[in-house]
Amino acid sequence: MVLILLFFFLPQVTGYLDDCTCDVETIDAFNNYQLFPRLNELLESDYFRYYKVNLQKPCPFWDDNSHCGMRDCAVQPCPSDEVPDGIRSASYKYSEEANNLAEECEEAKRLGAVDDSLSKETRQAVLQWAQHDDSSDSFCEADDIHSPEAEYVDLLLNPERYTGYKGPDAWKIWNSIYEENCFKPQNVKRPLASGRGDDGGQTFYKWLKGVCVEKRAFYRLISGLHASINIHLSARYLLQDTWSEKKWGPNITEFQQRFDEVLTRGEGPRRLKNLYFLYLIELRALSKVLPFFERPTFQLYTGNKSQDAEMKHLLLEILHLAKSFPLHFDENSFFAGNKKEAAKLKEEFRLHFKNISKIMDCVGCFKCRLWGKLQTQGLGTALKILFSENLIEKIPESGPSYGFQLTRQEIVALFNAFGRVSTSVKELENFRNILQNMR
C-alpha cells in the first residue's frame, strides 16, 4: 500500500507563500531558467570552490565523541599547493587591497598601537578593519581560519549528498535546533516530532500564527534550511555501492517519505513552502548587497587577473538579475515596532541564530558538518546584509567601505548557501517530472 502511495502522490506546492506577496510558480520560472545556470557557473570558479573550515572543533553543548564511521562522511582537505596563491594570501579579507590593509593591521597590533608613520587614510582603514573584526553584527560563530586545524576544502570534490548519517545522532542535532533555538515554548510540540503524540499540528500552528512575524520567520527559515538539506540528500542518494562503481542519483522513495502530503500528514508541502521562503530571504539579501560588490576596488582576488575580472562580471550579472526579481520579500516588516523592543528582539534573533551555528560543530558526519557550517554561515551573512541596509546605502562608490564589510569566508558562504537553495528549487522540478512520468 505504501508503494502505491509513493508512486501516485506528488507534494502539492503552489500559489502564494505566507507573509509574502510572491508565489511558487514565479520563483520556479525565475530560478530554474534564469538564475540557476549562471549561479552554477560562478560556484565552479576558483574563488568560490575553496572554503576554509575547522572541522575539528569540539561540540560546545554536550560530550560527543561519536563520529560517523562511513567513508562517505569523510572530507578530503586540499593540499595547500592546490589552493590559488591569491586565496591563500588573502584568506581573510576579500581583495588584494583589503589584504594589504589587513597585514598593516596585524603589524599594528604587534606594535601595540597604530603606527604613526602610516598615512592618515591607512591608519583610519586599519582601525576600521579592527573595529569590523571585533564587531557584534555577526549572526554566526565563525571559525578561526588562522587556526592550525582550519583547512581548505574543495567544495566541488566534496559535494553535499547522502552519507548514511541518520538516526538518533542526526535527530539530536535537529531537535536541539528546533526545541531550544526557535523561540518555541516546551509545551508546544512540533508536528511529527519523534516519539510524541500529534494533534495534526493544530497546537503548533496556532502558536506559530500567534507569534510576531520575526519569530515566525525564524522558524520558517530553519524549516526551509532543513527541507533544502533533505532535498539534496534525496537528489544525490547512494543508489549503488559495489567494488567497481558507486552510483548517486534521485531516490524517489526517500523524497516522498520526507515531503509527500499523505505520508507526512500535510507537513511535506509546508516544509517545501518554507524552502521557498528561505529562497526569497537569501535572494533579497543578494539584491541589497549589490553596491558593496559594484565598487571598482572590489575584486574576486585569486591571482588570475583575467579569470578574476570575468568572474566579477558574472557575479554582478547575477546580482543585477536578483535585483530585477519582481516580487521580493519586504523585510521592512521586521523589527518595525517600538525601537527599544525591536532592538531587544533583533539581538535575541541574532543570538539564537548564532547558537545554531555553534550546534553545527556537534554534527558527527564531517561532510554534513562542512555543509551545515557553510549553509548556516551563508544564511547568517544574508541576515547580516538585510539588517545592515543603512550602512550599505552609505558605501562610497570608490575607496574603502568602512561601515559595512564582508570577509571572503562570508562571501563564499553567502553564494554557496544560496546555490544550495537554488539547487533545491531546481531539484523539486526534477522530482515532479520523474513522479509525473511514473503515474
Binding site per annotation, positions for FAD: 161, 163, 174, 223, 226, 258
Rounded Cα distance, 378 and 353, in Å: 12
Q: Estimate the share of the chain in helix, then strand, then coil, as percent rounded to the nearest 5.
A: 60, 5, 35
Rounded Cα distance, 166 and 162, in Å: 10
Tell me if residue 251 falls in helix, strand or coil. Answer: coil
User: What are the angstrom distances between the C-alpha of 39 and each of 9, 52, 124, 283, 315?
Assistant: 31, 20, 36, 12, 8
Closest CA to 272 of 261, 285, 284, 262: 261
Q: Residues 73, 105, 182, 365: which is the catalytic one? A: 365
Closest CA to 91 of 141, 44, 132, 147: 147
Going by DSSP bridges, is the β-strand pair 237-241/50-53 parallel, antiparallel, or unpaired? unpaired
Does 368 participate in catalysis according to the annotation? Answer: yes
With residue 170 as reference, give the H or E element that holds it: helix 168-181
| Binding-site residue ranges | 161, 163, 174, 223, 226, 258
Does 73 participate in catalysis according to the annotation? Answer: no
- Name the grid cell of 232: 539534496
Contact 373, 261 (CB under 8 A): no
For 200-239, b/e burial (b = at least 16 CB within 10 A) is: ebeebeebbeeeeebbbbbbbbbbbbbbbbbbbbbbbbbe
DSSP code of residue 4: H
Rounded Cα distance, 34 and 316, in Å: 14
Q: Residues 22, 68, 362, 368: which is the catalytic one? A: 368
Residues sharing a CB contact under 8 Å with residue 420, sequence separation 6 or more, in sequence order: 160, 228, 229, 232, 371, 375, 378
- Name the grid cell of 61: 553543548
User: What are the angstrom distances between the C-alpha of 200 and each of 2, 43, 176, 193, 386?
Assistant: 20, 40, 22, 11, 34
Catalogue the active-site residues.
365, 368
